Amino acid sequence: MMSEPPFVSGFMPEGGDYNPEEVVVLLFEEYEAIKLSDYTHLTQLEASKKLGVSRPTFTRIYDSARKKIALAFVENKRIVIQGGEVEFEENWYRCGNCGSVFKQNKKSGKKLKCPVCDSEEVTLLQHDREVRSGGPGFEPGFGRQRRRGRGPQGFCICPKCDYKIAHEPGVPCNSLLCPHCDIRMIKEDSEHYQTILKKRKIN
C-alpha cells in the first residue's frame, strides 16, 4: 500500500544524447522500495511491512529497482515510473490530455473526467502501464522552470482554480494538493502550465 504516487512520472537524462524511445520502466512498488529504504531509512523488514509484502519479496523488488536505476544512469536512459501491483490509499488519476494528476472518489457516480480540461482520457495511475513516448509528461524541456525575470521563487498554482501559493525552494509544487480541488499543483512559470492554459476548458 502506498500513500500516494510519486510526484513526477519519470526522469530524463540531461545534457547527453539519449533515445527518447528507450525507457526503463520503474514500477510504483520499486520506486516506493527505494524511497522507504534509501530515503526514509527504514529497515528492509519495516519497509516490507509498509509495502504489504514479505521480506524476501521486498528484497527482490528493491534489488530490481536499484538495477534499473543503475542501468538508466550509466546508459543514459529515460526512467518512466508506472504500473505494478501496488494500491494507493486513494484513487489517483492522470489526464492523458493535459497531464494533470488528481484524486477522486470512484464511487461519486459521475463520469470520470479531468477536472481541468474536461477530457475523458483519464487513467487510474496504478493501471497506467502504457509507455508514452510523447504527450505532456515527456516533451524535452517540459517542466523546466524558467526563473529569469519572474522573481526569485515564483508560485505553485492549481491548474484548475488558479489558487496559488509562494513556491518554497526544495518543495516540489506537485507535492502540494490544491485544498479546493484535490489536484496536484504545478509551477506557475513552467511550460506545463502554459500547455494546460491552452487545453483548459472554459468555464
| Nearest to 116, CA basis, from 191, 185, 167 | 185
Say which residues have a Cβ less than 8 Å from residue 181's Cβ, sequence separation at least 6: 102, 115, 158, 160, 161, 163
Q: Is the dihedral of CA 140, 142, 145, 150 positive or negative?
A: positive
Residue with cell string 531509512: 41
d(CA 23, CA 30): 15
Provide the minimum distance between the beta carbon of 45 and Zn ion in the complex, in angstroms, as a whole number: 40
Provide the minimum distance between the beta carbon of 42 and Zn ion in the complex, in angstroms, as a whole number: 33
Based on CB atoms, which residue is closest to Zn ion, 12 or 98? 98
Based on CB atoms, which residue is closest to Zn ion, 28 or 102? 102
Backbone angles phi, psi at 24, to 5 degrees: -105, 120
Please give the residue ranges that form the binding site for Zn ion (CB under 5 A). Answer: 95, 97-98, 100, 114, 116-117, 119, 158, 160-161, 163, 178, 180-181
Based on CB atoms, which residue is closest to Zn ion, 60 or 180? 180
Based on CB atoms, which residue is closest to Zn ion, 125 or 181? 181
Provide the minimum distance between the beta carbon of 180 and Zn ion in the complex, in angstroms, as a whole number: 4
Provide the minimum distance between the beta carbon of 6 and Zn ion in the complex, in angstroms, as a whole number: 19
